Structure 1
Amino acid sequence: MKRPRRLAKTKERRATVLAGIILLQAICALFFVGDVLADITAVAQIADVHLGLEALAAVSLIAGILFLMNELRRLLIRMGDMDTGLRAAQGQMADVMQDFFDGWNLTEAERDVAIMILKGLDNETIAQVRHTAPGTVRAQATRVYAKSGSDGRAQFISLFMEELMSDDFAHNDAINPNRHAG
């Protein structure tokens, strides 16, 4: 789960940087608008090139501010949508895992080991977390692989990756765990 968090932090930083740029442009736009107004009230000629450039800079900065504010709004909406989708996928993944585990008739201990395998823990770490012997974890992992019809850790994990990447993931009403065996 480190990668989605890293991506979320990158998007948050991007939004913060964009907000900072908008603020900086707003300050610059205020300066140029104030300078143009001061020049006009000082009875400067409107045809003055310097005044025209300042007015153009002010208008450009205001247009940039409006554009960036729109981009920031869209970025925040996208971030919200992605966060909602990620939470939904996590919930669906839990349902998918339970459906598979039920179909394979895993015991509670085997379910715990299977979840930790999916999280990427090795047998030694699983043994430490579960306060059991490494040999017990190896035996439970072997039973999980046998019941799932997989040849080992990599193939076991790929069962879930296939399900995540399948078009049926959003419609996981009738998961048939045996379709992956073989």
Structure 2
Amino acid sequence: MPSIQSAPGRSRFSPRLIGPIAVVALQAVAASYFVVDGIDDLIEQAGRGFSVEVMMECLVALALLAGVVLGARHLRRIAGDLARADDALARARGALADHIAHRFDTWSLTRGESDVALFALKGCDVAEISRLRGAAPGTVRAQLSQVYAKAGVGSQAMLMSLFLEDLLDTDPAAGPQRGE
């Protein structure tokens, strides 16, 4: 059966974080410059007293430094949230793949029927499945007919609805349940 799980050993770094990381890094460089400049100005004016301008520069540098720290902490939290969401998605995909495999085993699908059924669940039509499997359209239609018969359904939409009902875990006769 074709795999629907993500590749194991995938990197934990998300490309979605490149922009925010670059902004925090740029802020860190700017903060470093202003802090060093502020310290230099303070040392230079230490004997003559401090001007309002130097004090404001130091205050701005400290505010920028605080922004870098807060931004980095926020970015770290977001990265953790993203990693947890990716893990949850991977677990859900794995559970769905296991559930599909269990259903296919319960229905005693052959390997070819399992492949065709999985492509049907992914929304492929007969022509696409035929092309993807390198099989004649008639063969694919025959395999789909066998899958539908073994699953007790009459169409691709009904096959999909079996799995959707399992995910929703509700009684289809009960109708939609809102706000419980």
Task: Give the secondary structure class of the aligned counterpart of 2:14.
Answer: helix
**Superposed CA RMSD:** 2.5
- 1:91-130 Cα distance to aligned partner (Å, 9 max, x none): 2112101221122232322211101112232211222333
Q: Which amino acid aligns with 1:97?
A: I
Match of 2:26 among 24, 27, 31: 24
Aligned pairs for 1:1-182 within 5 A: 12-43=14-45, 45-46=49-50, 48-166=51-169
Give, in whole Å, the separation in 1 of the partners of 2:75 and 2:114: 43
Give, in whole Å, the separation in 2 of the partners of 1:29 and 1:97: 54
Q: Which amino acid aligns with 1:37?
A: I
- 1:73-99 Cα distance to aligned partner (Å, 9 max, x none): 112212221222222222211210122
TM-score, normalised relative to structure 2? 0.76
Q: Which amino acid aligns with 1:55?
A: C
Q: Which amino acid aligns with 1:76?
A: A
The number of residues matched between the two structures is 160
Q: Which amino acid aligns with 2:139?
A: T
> How much has 1:165 moved relative to structure 2?
4.2
Listed as ranges, the gaps of 5+ residues in structure 1 are 5-10, 168-178
> How much has 1:17 moved relative to structure 2?
1.3
TM-score, normalised relative to structure 1? 0.76
Query: Which residue in 2 is equivalent to 1:174?
Result: none
Q: Which amino acid aligns with 1:32?
A: F
Give, in whole Å, the separation in 1 of the partners of 2:143 and 2:151: 12
Listed as ranges, the gaps of 5+ residues in structure 2 are 1-5, 7-12, 173-180
Give, in whole Å, the separation in 2 of the partners of 1:131 and 1:42: 79
Is the helix fraction higher in 1 or 2? Answer: 1
